[in-house]
């Protein structure tokens, strides 16, 4: 009896390496419970109805949070829940926006911001550390330098008697699904009077090879009609084949070029990215800043009047500070949108989204 129970467990949960190597599209069900997304690990988990629903819910959270009465309603929704922010790779806005998203919903949040301040320094494994968090909290948000770490966290917890939701807050150079959500929210809000994101042309510029934000956002384009992507990068930072194969499979038009100037006038959005030097195998030199792929104040004259300039931030040299004053520069609004959409996502994960919607009926 004991033996067959063990076998059954092994059959349901393959070993980590085996699970990790399954095609993402074939394992998405592992992150669903009771017909809802339970863990947020990949951008491929989001379909169009979900994205539209998230944008609407984020709008509702944003509007409610602006009034004292509305903020009080929100702050009672999850006052009985607790979150752990396990951020062992540096972060400013993902961390602070998740922390404030928790505060908006009345959720208590605790944090670990480095492996040197947890018992991992004594040799405790990351898996045991994660299991320990789940003893105390109801949600774990993970930012980690290793690709696949957030997925592993969910995989570990889903085999325990106390699985809690896991959100990927950025896993190595691989994926940043909640950044993709806030990027979609920003694009949809910016284009709400000109037909939304459908039919738009978007340039992604810079380090596309190691930029997890542009990778996750590219996956989401399958949910929008007639979007065209322009991948603008130096040869060494070209978008990887896995993303290009995904786009081909879903009939999403894309072009690759290193001629940024020729792309600027034809696109509706320009998504700038930083050179991800933290993933470089040799130290980056100050000359490795690729000025051809920077956006300067003078470039504003070459883009359309409705074209928005985005950046996941932090920036280094990619966008001249003088661009900030132009209304087409939306990156500061974009980072603030992260707080609203992350609050909406947490509300959804805990099933209190209908209580938010009720406030608008």
Positions in the binding site for ligand CP (CB under 6 A): 91-95, 170, 179, 312-314
Q: How far is the CB of 315 from ligand CP (least distance, A)?
A: 10
Residue 143 or 200: which CB sits closer to ligand CP? 143
Residue 30 or 329: which CB sits closer to ligand CP? 329
Choosing from 62, 81, 143, 152, the catalytic residue is: 143
Candidates 58, 346, 46; CA nearest to 192 is 58
Residue 95 or 348: which CB sits closer to ligand CP? 95
* Cβ atoms 293, 206 nearer than 8 A: yes
* Cβ atoms 266, 294 nearer than 8 A: no
* Cβ atoms 111, 85 nearer than 8 A: yes
Choosing from 3, 34, 66, 122, the catalytic residue is: 122
Nearest residue to ligand CP, using CB? 94
Residue 94 or 218: which CB sits closer to ligand CP? 94
Residue 60 or 337: which CB sits closer to ligand CP? 337
Q: How far is the CB of 89 from ligand CP (least distance, A)?
A: 8
Q: How far is the CB of 341 from ligand CP (least distance, A)?
A: 13
Task: State yes or no: is 93 an active-site residue.
Answer: yes
* Cβ atoms 73, 200 nearer than 8 A: no
Task: State yes or no: is 297 an active-site residue.
Answer: no
Choosing from 62, 81, 144, 176, the catalytic residue is: 176
Q: How far is the CB of 296 from ligand CP (least distance, A)?
A: 22
Rounded Cα gap, residues 67 and 348, in angstroms = 21
Candidates 104, 117, 99; CA nearest to 75 is 104
Rounded Cα gap, residues 176 and 282, in angstroms = 24
Task: State yes or no: is 122 an active-site residue.
Answer: yes
Q: How far is the CB of 148 from ligand CP (least distance, A)?
A: 18
Residue 30 or 41: which CB sits closer to ligand CP? 41
Number of other CB atoms surrounding residue 192 within 10 Å: 11
Choosing from 62, 81, 94, 186, the catalytic residue is: 94
Task: State yes or no: is 94 an active-site residue.
Answer: yes
Rounded Cα gap, residues 325 and 344, in angstroms = 29
Q: How far is the CB of 27 from ligand CP (least distance, A)?
A: 25
Please identify every residue annotated as catalytic: 93-94, 122, 143, 176
């Amino acid at each position: 009896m004991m033996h067959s129970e063990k076998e059954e467990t092994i059959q349901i949960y393959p070993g980590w390496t085996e699970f990790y190597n399954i095609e993402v599209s074939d394992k998405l069900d592992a992150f669903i419970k009771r017909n809802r997304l339970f863990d947020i690990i990949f951008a491929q988990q989001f379909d169009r109805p979900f994205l539209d629903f998230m944008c609407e819910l984020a709008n509702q959270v944003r509007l409610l949070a602006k009034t004292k009465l509305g903020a009080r309603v929100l702050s009672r929704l999850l006052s009985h829940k607790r979150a752990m922010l396990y951020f062992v790779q540096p972060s400013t806005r993902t961390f602070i926006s998740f922390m404030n998203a928790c505060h908006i919903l009345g959720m208590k949040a605790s944090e670990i911001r480095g492996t040197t301040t947890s018992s991992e320094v004594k040799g405790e494994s990351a898996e045991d550390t994660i299991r320990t968090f789940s003893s105390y909290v109801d949600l774990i948000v993970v930012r980690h330098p290793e690709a696949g770490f957030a997925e592993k966290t969910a995989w570990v917890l889903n085999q325990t008697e106390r699985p809690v939701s896991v959100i990927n807050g950025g896993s190595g150079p691989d994926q940043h699904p909640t950044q993709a959500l806030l990027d979609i929210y920003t694009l949809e809000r910016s284009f709400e009077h000109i037909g939304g994101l459908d039919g738009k042309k978007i340039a992604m510029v810079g380090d596309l090879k190691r930029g997890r934000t542009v990778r996750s956002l590219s996956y989401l384009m399958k949910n929008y009609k007639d979007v065209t992507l322009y991948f603008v990068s130096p040869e060494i930072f070209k978008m990887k084949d896995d993303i290009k194969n995904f786009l081909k499979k879903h009939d999403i038009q894309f072009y690759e070029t290193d001629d940024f100037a020729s792309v600027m006038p034809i696109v509706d959005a320009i998504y700038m990215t930083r050179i991800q030097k933290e993933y470089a195998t040799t130290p980056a030199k100050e000359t490795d800043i690729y000025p051809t792929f920077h956006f300067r104040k003078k470039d504003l004259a070459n883009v359309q009047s409705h074209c928005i300039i985005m950046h996941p931030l932090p920036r280094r040299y990619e966008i001249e500070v003088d661009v900030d004053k132009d209304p087409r520069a939306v990156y500061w609004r974009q980072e603030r949108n992260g707080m609203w959409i992350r609050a909406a996502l947490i509300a959804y994960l805990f099933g209190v989204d209908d209580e938010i919607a009720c406030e608008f009926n």
